[in-house]
Every structure is written in structure tokens, then in C-alpha cells.
Amino acid sequence: MISLAGGLPAEELFPLEELAQAYARVFKTGAHALQYGLTEGYTPLRDVIASRMASKGMTVDVDDMLLTTGSQQAIDLVARVLIEPGDRIFVEDPTYLAALQIFKFHSAHIVPIATDRDGMEMDALRRELASGPPKFVYVTPTFSNPTGRVWTRERREQLLALCREFDVLVLEDDPYGDIAFDVDALPPTLYALDAQLGGDTHVIYTSTFSKTVVPAVRSGWVCAPKSVAAALVRAKQAADLHSSSIDQQALYELLTHFDIDAHIATVRDEYRHRMMILHRLLREQPWSGVRWERPSGGMFLWLELPEHVDTLELLQTAVREGVAYVPGHEFYAGVARKNTLRLNFSHSGPDTLQEGVRRLARALQPVLDES
């Protein structure tokens, strides 16, 4: 079975040796490295993250930053702290499936906002804001999961203007921002743009080392306006006291003794290479009515098939052919576009991608012939 389904990074790029050395350094510092730590997380690592954020135009006070068990926990903590049952939460449509699951778990009323290739549609957002502001708007404006799209700077500014007008918070989920194939073409994060506007912060920002280092360290972070940050610390204390401090210390050693930026550049180059291979393989197919946008970063390519194709039904045939993908259905909070699917290009090497597309083509061709 070839899986183009999961959102897994490429294992062959993991900094295995360097991480082993980083952990060894931590153990050499003595038993206190294994003691309970601060709920907010290992302070030296928070400082390093703050200076890495500053280099991307994001100024953060480390007191407003909390280290979390991946950005998944950051989203969950924000939901725990802010959502009362029945609260409206606005999301892009489609959006990150596991965030939808969290919001549902907290009994939110999820409101899908129409989204095009430039980001959320502002007319639709304004209409919903006018009919009842949400607790927050959840967005992944940079290399969305599932679509791989990037919001334009204009849409980002419009979102912030509207959220300030209606005094609504934004939760910016940014796990893929470092995996930009053209770093210079990337608009600033919402967090950076919001700070430029001055006044009260309206953006809660979360990111992670899962995509740039390894997911197994389960290390993400969240920066929030002061009152929210304090509530997040209390919620985290109740949840798990703190995330693994041995992992946080090892990450700190890795980031300070190893050229992480060179590593991230290698990851980017390899993912760009794999994305281009997938893009070329798809273009070589004699398909008609199959559309996609070439991603400019991240890990996913979003495919739209002719309207009559249901990708959930098609998955059974694909699996029989030996290839898996994620049907688009699950990513929609509103009416699902059943003719969509998500392909991952970060985990499979060139040969696997080639064979994966061959199998996908075998599954798809008979359905396309029906149209």
C-alpha cells in the first residue's frame, strides 16, 4: 500500500544523529534535567523561539508564550479556555480536520466561511460577523491543510480589520510557514501584521517543531494576548502540568548547537522537489476535468475531480489498487465538495510518488471515462 494520505514528514531528513547528541548533552547536565518543570515550558527554549519569531517580524514577550504538546494541544487549550457550549467559531471551508474535531468536542457551533484561492471571502465573513460574532476565527493562512493555499496580504489585512471592528480574536495556526518554497514571496503572518496595527493584540498564534524537526518531540508553542495566555497556563496546568521537559531541553540543545536554518532549507528543497515530481506526474495524465493549484509550500496538494466523482467511494477502488489518499469530505464544516481529495508529497520519495500516481490513475480512469 502506498499512502499519499497522512501528513507525515520525510523520515530520511530527520536530524537523527544531531538529536541523539542533543539528548546526550541534556543527560550529561545531571539529574535536575529530569525534574518537574515550569508549566509555561523550558525558559531557554522559549527565548530561542521568541528570537526566531523576531527574525520573521513577530515580536513576542516570552511571558505571553507557552510551550505545548504540539500545536494540536495549543488549539485544544485555546478551545478549552474560550469556548462555552454553543459558541460560534468561524473556520475556513475546508479546514484542518483535527481542529474541527476539537471545536466539536467542546460543543462549539462551527460556522464555515467560504474560502477561495486568496483566503477567506470577506463578504461572507462580514455577513456572519454581523449576524453574531464568534468567540474566535480559526485560520491556517499559510499553506493550509488541506488545500496548500496561502492567503494574500490583502486578505490578511482585511481579516484583521474586520476582527478589530467586531472585537473578535483570531487563532492563527502556522505549522507550515517554515516550509515555503519561495520564502521571499510569503506575506507576513497575521500575528506580525496585527502588531503593526498597534493597540490590543487580536491574534493568538501557534506553531510547531513537528514539520521542521520531528513530530515525536511533540513540541509546539502558542503566543496570546496576556489575559488569554494566563488562562492557557491555568488550563495546561490542569491538563498535564507541563509538556515533556526532557524533549524541550533537547530541542534547545539542538537549536543552539546545530544549524537548524540549513536543515529547514534542506527540508524545503526536498519537499519542493517532491511536489514538482507529483505535479509533473499529474500533468502527464490524460485526465480531463481534474484541477489543482501547484502548492508553493507545505506538504499537501489538493485535487478537484469532475463534479460527479465521489472521492470517498473512489477510495475503495484506490485502496484495491494499492494507493491511499484523504477524501476531501472530512475537511468541510459546511457542505462537503465530494469531488475533492488531498495528496501528501512530503513523505514519499520520487519512485513511490510515481508508482502512487500510476495506481491512482488506474483507480480514477474508469470513473473519468463515465463523464
Ligand X SMILES: Cc1ncc(COP(=O)(O)O)c(C=O)c1O
CB 78 within 8 A of CB 221: no
- Minimum CB separation of residue 224 from ligand X in Å reads 16
Q: Is 210 in the site for ligand X (CB under 6 A)?
A: yes
Closest CA to 72 of 192, 249, 177, 209: 209
Q: Is 215 in the site for ligand X (CB under 6 A)?
A: yes
- Minimum CB separation of residue 366 from ligand X in Å reads 32
Q: Is 244 in the site for ligand X (CB under 6 A)?
A: no
Closest CA to 126 of 93, 150, 159, 157: 159
Distance CA 310, CA 327 (A): 8
Secondary structure string (H, E, C) spanning 155-171? HHHHHHHHHHHCCCEEE
Distance CA 212, CA 174 (A): 12
Q: Is 9 in the site for ligand X (CB under 6 A)?
A: no
Give the type of residue at 208.
T
- Minimum CB separation of residue 153 from ligand X in Å reads 20
Count of residues that bind ligand X according to CB under 6 A: 13
CB of 208 or CB of 361, closer to ligand X: 208
Distance CA 234, CA 359 (A): 49
Taking CB under 6 A as the binding criterion, the range among 70-78, 79-87, 254-262, 352-360 that sits at the site for ligand X is: 70-78
**Subset of residues 116 to 155 that bind ligand X, contact rule: CB under 6 A:** 140, 145
358 by Cβ neighbours in 10 Å (0-12 / 13-18 / 19+) ranks as middle
Taking CB under 6 A as the binding criterion, the range among 35-43, 51-59, 152-160, 207-215 that sits at the site for ligand X is: 207-215
CB of 70 or CB of 112, closer to ligand X: 70
Q: Which of helix, strand or coil describes residue 291?
A: strand
Binding mask 300-329 for ligand X (x = CB under 6 A): ------------------------------
Which residues is 342 bridged to in the sheet? 302, 326
CB 202 within 8 A of CB 168: yes
CB of 60 or CB of 129, closer to ligand X: 60
Binding mask 20-59 for ligand X (x = CB under 6 A): ----------------------------------------
Q: Is 7 in the site for ligand X (CB under 6 A)?
A: yes
Closest CA to 204 of 166, 171, 175, 164: 171
Tell me which residues touch ligand X (CB under 6 A): 7, 70-72, 96, 140, 145, 173, 175, 208, 210, 215, 220
